[in-house]
């Protein structure tokens, strides 16, 4: 296909054109997360819902939804927040239908990744889930017979040529489009669609594609909708402690991959603290006993010094934490998409500043021929070794009036080349390779506010590139030195298996995503480590359960790929350990309320010596100890709950915490909890300090008995938290 795409200003007209092209059986592939073209998706849905002769299957992942409520009190809290943070983001009609149980019989939704916990006990979603590694998503989407692909794009220009950027989602789309074009050559009817949304940051790398990538493009200002921006969640004390541990396992000059969520944010905070407040960072590690208990593994795997060389990012998901790491000088190690350059950079023979030694290193290593060929000159210009204006003809290099032989061994020629032909610094340096992105609005704003030069250091590409070593393996190994892949899990077994995506009854919590890819890659890369972050316990009201278990009926990461597991109580270094040694390591980082039971289970199964005793220094793993460890530093203003900002107002933070505690208290009690005398007194007359919170919930002047009851319930919740 070489012609320009057909342009539409109305989604109905565009969908009609698609149906005319591919027929009444539409298998619609939509990208994960942010990149969905909601207006096009909704139009396909409404057309199929109105016409039973149309058969629509939507194949996608992580369909985004605004927060919803299940009670009047929740509505009062959430409705103004949702309008403020998500107003202008169009709902996906297929998600509304699946939630309401009204999905038409001729429409199916198939997903390979859920919003965590979003579809538990939703049979239709559970039954239509595809379990797959992210690197296999392309295969499985094509295996469903997809014939239409659609996503939002940003419009821009590169070197004067109009182009589109796949921006937030080149990670699977690029490969699927290439495969569909091959199928099209064999006679299959396909359609590749774009919906322009210039709220998207224009991102570079492989995300930049020519206009004729698409068959049809929807472009009208009415459809440049607000991007979905999930707000930042608070970072708890256990999360901060996990982040501190993991931050000490990151090697200077290395490569970092992190996932979304408060655990990833906690790691980012720890890395920034290590870089900018190293003295306090060292004090925390010493004062909390981290170095005493885990100093050996920290010295072996990571470090606690500031980052001199810095890190680079190679990550499936580009989270907003990377922007903070860029700003604070943690992510600053540049990589280059050429093995010849990267090898010499790793060896210290080439640095960012171009010198005559740079040219010599390339020549001596065999990266370029001597005399230089036209291909060599193009290569040297592309990476800034030679100035862009240099030309080669008849064995002579030319730049303006300067001429020199292309023979690098010619001393006279080298004097001219070294003096006038060399560039100033290496070009094409990449700080982060990323597959897709999703984050709060402040993240998108930061990307949009970057200069073109800054944005070009973020290379958006496919998961085939970032999630595995296949294809350009030599280059990937050179770029990903000292790889550290940090991801979150739900539970960990004593012998090293980790549960991250589902439950033992088959219910899917989220999805495998790229976690398995990165764990496997850590085992394949020399010097790399997989770090799985697990909160030691989970609780609902007074019901507390251990997330470190003896065994479990489902695993995401099998025990033979065990490496490092980190909880708020420490680091379990499992690689190359026997089962008994793994169990001992995992017991050391389990909550002490569950250690004895876990040890007994291991002994009963004959997996550890019958006389084994957990060392005393690991027997004080209690939440109170972790809180006490960080308390002095919190008084200094460190470890705030929202270190990277929040979309919640001060009143909303207080109300949210109070209502959450009330909900937990009521769900764990046999009846409505009885207030204490002090709380009851505050409920008799509404305290003045409660007014801002009641105003926010529109309960300051209750107009009915029901509203008065809700008002008193809120006052009780606030009183229970010591707010009033």
> What is the CATH number for 501?
3.40.1080.20
Pair (164, 98) in one structural domain: yes
CATH number, domain of 190, equals 3.40.1080.10
Does residue 644 lie within any of the structural domains? no
Q: How many CB atoms lie within 10 A of CB 209?
A: 18
Q: What is the pLDDT of residues 596-615, one digit of tens each?
A: 999 999 999 999 999 999 99
Contacts of 326 by beta carbon, 8 Å cutoff, 6+ apart = 332, 431, 432
Pair (154, 178) in one structural domain: yes
Does residue 289 lie within any of the structural domains? yes
Strand 402-405 relative to strand 529-533: parallel, antiparallel, unpaired?
Answer: unpaired
CA angle 312, 318, 322 (to 5 degrees): 50
Pair (91, 121) in one structural domain: yes
Burial 622-648 (b: 16+ CB within 10 A, else e): ebeebeebbeebeeeebbebebbebbb
661 pLDDT above the threshold of 90 = no
Instruction: Tell me what pLDDT residue 676 has.
Output: 66
Does residue 231 lie within any of the structural domains? no
Does residue 631 lie within any of the structural domains? no
Pair (460, 410) in one structural domain: no
Distance CA(628)–CA(613), nearest Å, equals 26
Q: What is the pLDDT of residues 220-263, one digit of tens each?
A: 999 999 999 999 999 999 999 999 999 999 999 999 999 889 99
Does residue 546 lie within any of the structural domains? yes
Pair (531, 390) in one structural domain: no
The 3 state secondary structure assigned to 677-719 is HHHHHHHHCCCHHHHHHHHHCCCCCCCCHHHHHHHHHHHHHHH
Distance CA(148)–CA(140), nearest Å, equals 15
The helix/strand count (H/E) of the chain reads as 28, 26
Query: Which has the closest alpha carbon to 151: 269, 39, 259?
Result: 39
The last residue of one of the domains, among 420, 453, 486, is 420
Pair (247, 363) in one structural domain: no
Pair (60, 149) in one structural domain: yes
Does residue 466 lie within any of the structural domains? yes
Does residue 515 lie within any of the structural domains? yes
Average pLDDT over residues 157-181: 96
Beta strands (DSSP E) in 22-145 are 25-29, 55-60, 107-111
487 pLDDT above the threshold of 60 = yes
Strand 458-460 relative to strand 432-437: parallel, antiparallel, unpaired?
Answer: parallel
Whether cis (ω within 30° of 0) applies to the bond prior to 371 is yes
Q: What is the pLDDT of residues 317-372, one digit of tens each?
A: 999 999 999 999 999 999 999 999 999 999 999 999 999 999 999 999 999 999 99
Instruction: Tell me what pLDDT residue 1 has.
Output: 43
Q: What is the pLDDT of residues 666-695, one digit of tens each?
A: 766 544 566 666 666 656 678 899 999 999
Q: What is the pLDDT of residues 29-67, one digit of tens each?
A: 999 999 999 999 999 999 999 999 999 999 999 999 999
Whether residue 315 contacts residue 264, with contact meaning beta carbons closer than 8 Å, is answered with no
Give 665 or 115, the one with higher predicted confidence. 115
Distance CA(722)–CA(719), nearest Å, equals 5
Pair (504, 394) in one structural domain: no
Burial of 657 (0-12, 13-18, 19+ CB in 10 A): middle
Whether residue 434 contacts residue 463, with contact meaning beta carbons closer than 8 Å, is answered with no
76 pLDDT above the threshold of 60 = yes
Pair (48, 153) in one structural domain: yes
552 pLDDT above the threshold of 60 = yes
Average pLDDT over residues 117-123: 94
Q: How confident is the model at residue 16 (pLDDT cuts 50, 70, 90)?
A: very high
Q: How confident is the model at residue 663 (pLDDT cuts 50, 70, 90)?
A: confident
Q: What is the pTM of this model?
A: 0.95
CA-based R_g, the chain, Å: 28
Structurally, the chain folds into a number of domains equal to 4
Distance CA(393)–CA(397), nearest Å, equals 7
What is the secondary structure of 621-653 as a DSSP string? --HHHHHHHHHHHHTTT-S-S-TT--SS-HHHH
Instruction: Tell me what pLDDT residue 2 has.
Output: 52
CA 643 to chain centre: 18
The last residue of one of the domains, among 165, 190, 223, is 223
- 3-state DSSP assignment of residue 526: coil
Helices 411-420, 356-364: axis angle to 10 degrees equals 130
Pair (532, 665) in one structural domain: no
Average pLDDT, the chain: 95
Does residue 629 lie within any of the structural domains? no
Distance CA(563)–CA(383), nearest Å, equals 37
Instruction: Tell me what pLDDT residue 678 has.
Output: 64
Pair (97, 214) in one structural domain: yes
- 3-state DSSP assignment of residue 408: coil
Distance CA(135)–CA(722), nearest Å, equals 49
Distance CA(301)–CA(576), nearest Å, equals 14
User: In which domain, by residue range, is 403 found?
Assistant: 339-420
Pair (580, 532) in one structural domain: yes
158 pLDDT above the threshold of 80 = yes
Nearest 5°: phi and psi at 329?
75, 25
Q: What is the pLDDT of residues 501-511, one digit of tens each?
A: 999 999 999 99
């Amino acid at each position: 296909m070489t012609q320009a795409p057909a342009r539409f200003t109305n989604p109905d007209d565009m969908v009609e054109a698609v149906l005319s092209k591919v027929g009444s059986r539409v298998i619609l592939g939509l990208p994960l997360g942010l990149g969905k073209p909601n207006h096009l998706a909704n139009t396909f849905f409404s057309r199929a819902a109105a016409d039973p002769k149309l058969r629509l299957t939507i194949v996608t992942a992580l369909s985004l939804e605004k927060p919803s409520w299940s009670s009047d009190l929740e509505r009062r809290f959430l409705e103004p927040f949702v309008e403020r943070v998500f107003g202008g983001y169009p709902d996906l009609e297929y998600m509304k239908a699946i939630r309401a149980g009204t999905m038409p019989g001729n429409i199916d939704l198939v997903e390979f990744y859920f919003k965590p916990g979003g579809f538990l006990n939703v049979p239709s979603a559970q039954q239509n889930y595809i379990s797959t590694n992210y690197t296999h998503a392309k295969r499985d989407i094509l295996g469903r017979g997809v014939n239409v692909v659609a996503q939002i794009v940003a419009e821009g220009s590169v070197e004067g040529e109009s182009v589109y950027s796949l921006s937030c989602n080149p990670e699977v789309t690029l490969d699927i489009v290439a495969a569909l074009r091959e199928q099209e050559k064999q006679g299959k009817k396909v359609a590749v669609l774009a919906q322009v949304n210039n709220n998207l940051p224009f991102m570079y790398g492989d995300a930049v594609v020519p206009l004729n990538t698409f068959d049809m493009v929807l472009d009208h200002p009415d459809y440049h909708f607000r991007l979905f921006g999930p707000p930042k969640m608070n970072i708890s004390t256990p999360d901060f402690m996990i982040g501190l541990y993991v931050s000490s396992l990151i090697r200077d000059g290395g490569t970092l991959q992190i996932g979304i969520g408060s655990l990833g944010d906690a790691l980012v905070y720890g890395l920034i603290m290590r870089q900018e407040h190293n003295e306090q960072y060292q004090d925390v590690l010493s004062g909390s006993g981290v170095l005493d208990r885990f100093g050996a593994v920290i010295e072996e795997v990571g470090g606690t010094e500031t980052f001199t060389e810095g890190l680079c990012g190679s990550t499936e998901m580009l989270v907003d934490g990377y922007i903070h790491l860029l700003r604070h000088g943690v992510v600053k190690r540049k990589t280059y998409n050429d093995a010849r350059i990267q090898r010499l950079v790793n060896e210290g023979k080439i640095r960012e500043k171009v010198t005559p030694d740079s040219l010599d290193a390339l020549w001596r290593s065999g990266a370029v021929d001597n005399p230089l060929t036209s291909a060599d000159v193009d290569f040297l210009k592309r990476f800034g070794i030679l100035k862009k204006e240099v030309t080669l003809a008849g064995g002579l290099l030319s730049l303006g009036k300067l001429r020199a032989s292309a023979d690098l061994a010619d001393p006279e020629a080298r004097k001219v080349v070294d003096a006038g032909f060399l560039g100033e610094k290496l070009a094409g340096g990449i700080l982060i390779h990323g597959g897709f992105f999703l984050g709060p609005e402040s993240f998108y704003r930061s990307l949009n506010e970057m200069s073109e030069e800054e944005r070009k250091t973020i290379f958006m590409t496919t998961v085939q590139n970032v999630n595995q070593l296949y294809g350009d393996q030599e280059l990937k190994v050179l770029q990903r030195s000292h790889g550290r892949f940090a991801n979150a899990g739900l539970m960990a077994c004593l012998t090293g298996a980790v549960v991250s995506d589902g439950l033992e009854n088959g219910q899917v919590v989220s999805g495998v995503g790229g976690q398995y890819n990165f764990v496997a890659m850590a085992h394949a890369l020399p010097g790399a480590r997989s770090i799985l972050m697990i909160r030691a316990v989970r609780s609902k009201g007074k019901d507390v359960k251990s997330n470190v278990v003896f065994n479990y009926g489902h695993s995401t990461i099998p025990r033979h790929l065990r490496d490092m597991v980190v909880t708020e109580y420490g680091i379990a270094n499992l690689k190359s350990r026997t089962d008994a040694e793994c169990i001992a390591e995992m017991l050391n980082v389990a909550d002490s309320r569950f250690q004895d039971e876990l040890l007994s289970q291991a002994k009963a199964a004959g997996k550890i010596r019958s006389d084994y005793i957990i060392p005393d220094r690991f027997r004080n793993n209690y939440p109170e100890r972790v809180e006490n460890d960080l308390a002095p530093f919190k008084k200094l203003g460190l470890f705030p709950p929202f270190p990277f900002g929040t979309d919640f107002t001060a009143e909303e933070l207080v109300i949210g915490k109070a209502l959450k505690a009330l909900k937990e208290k009521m769900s764990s009690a046999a009846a409505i909890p009885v207030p204490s005398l002090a709380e009851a007194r505050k409920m008799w007359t509404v305290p003045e300090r409660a007014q801002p919170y009641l105003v926010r919930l529109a309960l300051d002047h209750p107009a009915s008995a029901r509203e008065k009851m809700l008002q008193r319930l809120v006052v009780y919740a606030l009183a229970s938290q010591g707010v009033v």
